[in-house]
Structure 1
Amino acid sequence: MTTFFLIRHAAHDNVGDYLAGRMAGVCLGETGRSQALRLASHMASEPLAAICCSPRERTLETAKPIAIACSPDKVTICQELDEIDFGAWSGKSFEELNRDADWQVWNSQRQQARTPGGETMLDVQQRIMSLMQKLRTRYQNQSVALVSHADVIKAAVCKVLGLPLGDCFRFDIDPASITTIVSGDWGSKLIRLNEAA
């Protein structure tokens, strides 16, 4: 059995105001840096075998204090944990996006809708579950931290709980939260959802 701590990156400036997506240069704000230190303190008692994270700056800035506190050799960048490719939507305010008919379709038909970057929630779900399967084989009876993004974590939770991807709006994944999933030959089980550090 492998324990996965799915950690959403800490807050960047203006989180909730605009869609950061895969934009470069989106870093943690003062609140986010404090959240990252609290996460590191919270995770310090966990014997992590590995820390993997999305290539975005905000996930790296969240993962590094955890690595210092938990002493894995390094933080491994995994493309499978990257934010959804929102294409032309990245950087737009949610006020502006709410006037976009395609954005409305994306939010009402997550099962099959595709972003301007060409990605569906099913694509996201397949990439994170594939990574978790590989890591489970490598880190049996160990714990691994995966530092990623809200929708990526939601896709994994929906898979574990057998929920349609459209049900991702029925629960929250807050900045700097921890969602714990255990996985073995028998399948996967959600232990904790959206836990605050």
Structure 2
Amino acid sequence: MTTTFFLIRHAAHENVGSYLAGRMDGVCLGDAGKAQATQLGCRMAREPIVAILCSPRERTRETALPVALACGVGEIAICAELDEIDFGDWSGKTFDELNGDASWRAWNDQRQVARTPSGETMHDVQQRVVAVMNAVHEKHQNQCVALVSHADVIKAAVCKVLGLPAGDCFRFDIDPASITTIVSGDWGAKLIRLNEVA
């Protein structure tokens, strides 16, 4: 019995790449992101999606909606385990500001052991995303499910599947509005496609 997971990163929000959005409220898709989300819906309509789980953030919910409409999924389940990393006081700061912060540099240089100001580690993130995938696998065997989340959360899942240390998350990219496909079975899990852009 297998479950096919489509791990979707949210589409681009306004000024993506210029500041750390984290769990800030009110971070919504920009015009480019809305177009990306529409394109995602067209791409995912080819897949027999039976359920969509989504991070609580506005940008993920706005990304999930066109996918749900295109796939005929009536309800999007909000899932705290798919939420962005809790970056605490770093949220909202520009990357220029963060680069002057020694603890931010440590987070990026020593991702295996470093913690965010809220105390979350990459291992914590990996545990929560893997736990929700295991639960979904039990419920949706021989079915396809979309999980709409954030770059580092998806990277944590991929590292787990590939047996990579969490610190190796910088060795691959997860772009806005990309799709990463993982198949999970009783034998384990395997990566089918990484960072597919619709």
Structure 1 unaligned residues grouped into runs of 5+ = none
List per-residue Cα deviations over 1:15-45 (Å, max 9, x = no partner): 0000000000000000000000000000001
TM-score, normalising length: structure 1: 0.99
Once residues 44 and 181 of structure 1 are traced to their aligned partners in structure 2, the CA distance between those partners, rounded to angstroms, is: 18
The RMSD of aligned alpha carbons is 0.4
Q: How does 1:7-156 map to 2 (within 5 A)?
A: 7-156=8-157
Q: Secondary structure at the match of 1:5?
A: strand
Once residues 189 and 74 of structure 2 are traced to their aligned partners in structure 1, the CA distance between those partners, rounded to angstroms, is: 27
Q: 2:197 maps to what in 1?
A: 196
Letter in 1 for 2:68: A
Q: 1:6 maps to what in 2?
A: 7
Q: Secondary structure at the match of 1:144?
A: strand
The share of aligned pairs that are identical, in percent, is 73
List per-residue Cα deviations over 1:106-132 (Å, max 9, x = no partner): 001111110001100000000000000
List per-residue Cα deviations over 1:1-23 (Å, max 9, x = no partner): 00000000000010000000000
Displacement over 3 Å in runs of 4+? none
Q: Secondary structure at the match of 2:11?
A: coil
List per-residue Cα deviations over 1:90-117 (Å, max 9, x = no partner): 0000000000000010001111110001
Aligned length: 197
Q: 2:183 maps to what in 1?
A: 182
How far did 1:73 drift? Answer: 2.2
Once residues 130 and 187 of structure 2 are traced to their aligned partners in structure 1, the CA distance between those partners, rounded to angstroms, is: 15
Structure 2 unaligned residues grouped into runs of 5+ = none
List per-residue Cα deviations over 1:69-99 (Å, max 9, x = no partner): 0011200000000000000000000000000
Letter in 1 for 2:74: D
